[in-house]
Structure 1
Amino acid sequence: MRRAIESTTVQTSNGNLLQIDKHTAILPNMIVISKDENVWGKDATEFNPDRFLPENTKNRHPLAWMLFGAGPRICPGKNLAIYETKATLIRLLQEFKYELHEKSKLNEVTKTFMTFESLKMKIIPRKNE
């Protein structure tokens, strides 16, 4: 969370103006921003890794995706977390096959918390394919 050091007006993604007074606490709701159709397009809630390709990020605001924060207070473990996640994912994909047996159903508990209502998968060891 940050505090505004001076009063200002900012334009939101839908064109509205938002007045922020000096000393107001500011905390972006990243879950809402990550689903904003004005930022991500009509398929904002769909899984689409292509949206992060360089040609698809040219006109997007640099703070539209702030998983680890931004600026001088960005998470110091960002790079380590990204590399560990990639290495773990690669290892899991090398070792196992994944089959989805039924369509997963999401349950949106609040605007900031989602959970699976049901997720049924079969995980099969690859054993020297």
Structure 2
Amino acid sequence: MATSERLERLIADEVGECCAGDVNDRLADLHALAERASVDGGERDVEALAALGSDTRYRIARLLAAADGDLCVCELEPLVDVSESAVSHALSTLTDAGLVTRRKEGKWRYYDTTERAEALLAGLDSTREVEA
């Protein structure tokens, strides 16, 4: 069934009848909604949310946000129970998504969360249901 046929059926069920003008009006309203919902840089939002979509990356972001300062890969590895290369890969993904900063000091690389990561984590915390 074509989308417009389904839309016609929906409108008819809502208001009792439907004509081509009703469908065109609803489509115009829907396109206006899509414009209002559109965000410049939305791809970066999706990238940031996807970066937090892995247990390892989410745990690392949480650890970095809770730390008093930045941490090295070798400090994170024993806390997330994955290999050093997996931690490094997760940190690269988080860095690419703009959720983690990286600085090099000698042969060591240190990582910390960005304000964006901290805001996303705080948002999750504030909307989590409190268990009774």
- So what's the TM-score if we normalise by structure 2? 0.21
Structure with more relative contact order (C-alpha pairs < 8 Å, separation 6 or more): 2
Q: If each structure's strand is expressed as a fraction of its own residues, which one has the higher value?
A: 1
> Whose radius of gyration is greater, 1 or 2?
2
